[in-house]
Structure 1
Amino acid sequence: MMLHRWKHCTLAILLILPLTACQQMLPKAQGLVNSQWTAQQYQRQDLVEVQWKAHSFSFLLYQQQQGQNLDFLALSLTGQQLFKLHFDGKQVTVEQRIEQMKLLPFDFLVRDILFATYPNFIAYPPENVLVNRSKQDHSLNIEDILIHQNKVLTIRHTQDHIELDNVQVPYQMVFSEVPNTLENNE
């Protein structure tokens, strides 16, 4: 009887260890957790255009923060929900995603979006993050984001949009802010 239980325990441990090891092997997005993360009311809507290798696509991105919690909702231009994410200042939780996005590294995506669009995230960067700023003229500001002294992002702020280049992957995103048409205009 004891031998039988021992075999079941050993089998359970052998099944759990590889799953735990796989989860630990997933890369973590350095530069995401920020000790300056604060509770606030925040809302932003963007049309996002993405270019990766020979692929390009667009989606609508809604960001809304209430207190410590920031939610991201991405919709295709036809209204299909692509993903829904939650960030509490420490970790990203995937609430929903379409099957084609199951391997997307959402921690990295959220980090890049925060650096490009979130107020003060770039002003008070996380530990081991350096922001090099340069101003080309009155309508163009460029920020290079270095994590552990390695350049990972270049962000260009213009009057009309924000361009983000991830130099590690590489991919490009262009954020064009959409006015909030859901507000009560009374």
Structure 2
Amino acid sequence: MKLKWTVMLISAVLLCGGCQSMLPQAPGLATAAWAAQNYQRQDQLEIQWKEQSFSFLLYQQQQGSKLEMLALTLTGQQLFKLSFDGRKVHVEQRIAPMKLLPFEFVVRDILYATYPNFAQLQQQNVRIETSAPARKVFINQQHVLNIQQQGDAIELNNVQVPYQMVISPINDGLANTDADSTE
């Protein structure tokens, strides 16, 4: 009997091993109202997930309908690179310790916290309860995210996965890329 269960378990692991489609999907991420625009932002992020802690610089840049995110260590080593097209997160590169990080949830939460009017782009049942300086995000009537503004920093607490994140903006690094800029 024990051998039977062991064989079934090994078979299931082999069938699902490395299968990204088995990772849970983040509700409230995909949006039909995603629009092309020029957008860029850089932040320092600290994420506490399970027993792991990550601290890195995150660069967001959207040109057209593709938003790209690039994470670097404070010394410049690339941690991950991904893109979001309004429907799906495409992880292009990542280091081994971040292999199981739930990127769809991380991207969704960063967008709700930092991207201009992301919650208004949703066609789904999204509700935001605001009581300064905090916001609670409900998707399909389920509480999924707490966002707390602490001075310049934004604290996120994902109640689904769960993990915590602190986003601290870096304002002096990116130059304005508009052609008519006079800076």
Return the letter of the residue paired with 2:95.
I
2:119 counterpart SS class: coil
Identity %: 60
Q: Is the 8 A contact 1:161 1:175 kept in 2?
A: yes
Match of 2:170 in 1: 178
User: How many equivalent residue pairs?
Assistant: 163
Which of 41, 45, 52 lines up with 1:44 in the alignment? 41
Q: Shift of the alpha carbon at 1:33?
A: 0.6
- C-alpha RMSD of the superposition: 2.1
Match of 1:87 in 2: 84
5+ residue gaps, structure 2: 1-14, 177-181
Which of 143, 153, 160 lines up with 2:152 in the alignment? 160
Match of 2:101 in 1: 104
Change (3 A) 1:154 1:79: same
What stretches of structure 1 move > 2 A for 4+ residues in a row?
A: 22-26, 51-57, 122-126
TM-score of the superposed pair, with normalisation by structure 1: 0.79
2:117 counterpart SS class: coil
Match of 2:129 in 1: 132
Q: Shift of the alpha carbon at 1:157?
A: 2.1
Partners of 1:65 and 1:131 in 2: CA distance: 25
Match of 1:66 in 2: 63
TM-score of the superposed pair, with normalisation by structure 2: 0.80
Change (3 A) 1:112 1:44: same
Q: Shift of the alpha carbon at 1:134?
A: 1.5
Q: Shift of the alpha carbon at 1:37?
A: 1.3
Q: Is the 8 A contact 1:42 1:65 kept in 2?
A: yes
Partners of 1:28 and 1:110 in 2: CA distance: 12
2:171 counterpart SS class: coil
Return the letter of the residue paired with 1:79.
G
Instruction: Note the alpha carbon deviations across 1:69-100, whole angstroms, 9 max, x for none.
Output: 00000011121100000101111111111122
Partners of 1:94 and 1:50 in 2: CA distance: 18
Which of 53, 75, 80 lines up with 1:78 in the alignment? 75
Which of 125, 143, 147 lines up with 2:135 in the alignment? 143
Larger radius of gyration: 1
Change (3 A) 1:183 1:102: same
1:112 counterpart SS class: helix
